Amino acid sequence: MNVYESASQTAKRTAYPEASLQKFRMLDDKVAEVFKAVEAWEGWQIISDPKTPPATLLAFVREIYRSVCWYQPHTTEASFHMIGRFPKGEVRLIQSAAAHKAEEAEHGLWAREDMAKLGEQDLTLASPATFAVAAV
């Protein structure tokens, strides 16, 4: 089931048992809650407001790039340490997690390149939120 059809439409379209459909509805409800939270977030309102000055949007993007540059190396290293502690019999899990982290490892490099394109090189300070992400 998706957010655009009713449970009865989904039941007619699928052979899923009612218990599964209930789980799908619960997941759809949670996704809808996340979207509501994002839309209520001040940052989203700044980005989506057509009256937001371009300089403000640029500063917002710059701060996102700065955060990614700062925390990505730390979270990549921590993730590979975590993957190394997985049960060695969980080969598919190890492969999937390692592949996922390998794909993410470049994000910091891309953010640094984009920061340079914006004329920004100062990556010395992280915001408290960025530090918290890396610390966790």
The confidence score (pLDDT) of residue 13 equals: 63
Exposed, middle or buried, 115 (CB in 10 Å: 0-12/13-18/19+)?
A: buried
**Cα 87 from Cα 91, distance rounded (Å):** 8
Q: Are the C-beta atoms of 69 and 111 separated by less than 8 Å?
A: yes
Q: Is the pTM of this model over 0.85?
A: no
Per-residue model confidence (pLDDT) at position 82: 93
Q: What is the pLDDT of residue 23?
A: 94
Angle (CA) 42-46-51 rounded to 5° is: 145
54's enclosing H/E stretch is: helix 54-84
Residue 11's pLDDT is what?
A: 52
pLDDT value at residue 33: 96
- Distance between first and last Cα of the chain: 35
* Secondary element (H or E) of residue 22: helix 18-40
Per-residue pLDDT of the chain (136 residues; tens, 9 = 90+): 555 566 666 556 667 888 899 999 999 999 999 999 999 999 899 999 999 999 999 888 888 888 888 888 888 898 999 999 999 999 999 999 999 999 988 888 898 899 888 887 776 777 787 788 777 7
Distance CA 82, CA 127 (A): 25
